[in-house]
Every structure is written in C-alpha cells, then in structure tokens.
Amino acid sequence: MIKMKQVVHAAAAAIAVLVPAVAAAEELHMNDYPTNTRADYVFGCMQANGQTRDVLDKCSCSIDVIASILPYDKYVEAETVMSLRLRGGESVAQMQSKVMVDKVHELKLAQIEGELRCF
C-alpha cells in the first residue's frame, strides 16, 4: 500500500511539473508571431471589414486565434504561397504541390476559426 501511495505522489509531482511547462509552451507558440505581422494582418482585416473600433477588436482577436492554431513558420509559408498565386506566372505552377496546397488550407481553416470565434 505504501508503494502505491509513493507512485501516486510521484505521478502527481510529475504532473505538477509538466502542466506549467505545457502551458508555457502553448504561450510561446501563441506569441511567436512578430508584432508587425500581427499589425499587418489587422490592417488588412480592417481594410476588408471597416475602420471602426469594433472591427479593430475583432481583427485583433482573429489573428490571436490564428496564432493559437498555426505556428508562425507555417503561417509565413502559407502567406508566401498565397501571395505568389496572386502574381501568377511560372511561380504559381511550382506552388501547386499537395504540400503547398495543404499549407494554404491550414491557414484558411485557422482564418475561418478566427472569424467564427471573433466576428
């Protein structure tokens, strides 16, 4: 019986150590977007949705949701693919691989989630 209590106490101690570490990792993940990237997103969002304080709050919320779902490096890759698609030409043909399409799809899903939660 004493061994079982020791195991339970050891497990509880391990969990107590891991929970803050996981929370810190999630916080780092959510805050790995540079301020200028967040501001650029909010600016574009406000251009599309209106120049009001309410829209500012909704757009800020939306990029926060995206950042909580998608790591910054994946966001940059997807944004790059999307901007190249707008240009057209040979670069677009190179960006049609399944991997690139999946990256854009992940970003679009994160954007939809941001809109659902914030707008």
Has residue 2 got a pLDDT over 50? yes
Round to whole Å and give the CA distance between 81 and 61: 24
Element (H, E) at 99: helix 98-118
Is 69 found in the same domain as 23? no
Tell me, yes or no, whether 65 and 41 share the same domain.
Answer: yes
In the chain, how many domains are there?
A: 2
The verdict on 15 and 45 lying in the same domain is no
Tens-place pLDDT, residues 27-61: 545 579 999 999 999 999 999 999 999 999 999 99
**pTM of the entire predicted model:** 0.71
Q: Which domain holds residue 50?
A: 34-118
Q: Are residues 24 and 38 in the same domain?
A: no
pLDDT digits (tens, 9 = 90+) for 71-116: 999 999 999 988 887 777 665 666 567 888 899 999 999 999 999 9
Query: Is the domain of 7 the same as that of 63?
Result: no
Residue 15 pLDDT class (50, 70, 90 cuts) = low
DSSP code per residue over 25-49: HHHHHHT-S-HHHHHHHHHHHHHHH
Q: 70: helix, coil or strand?
A: coil
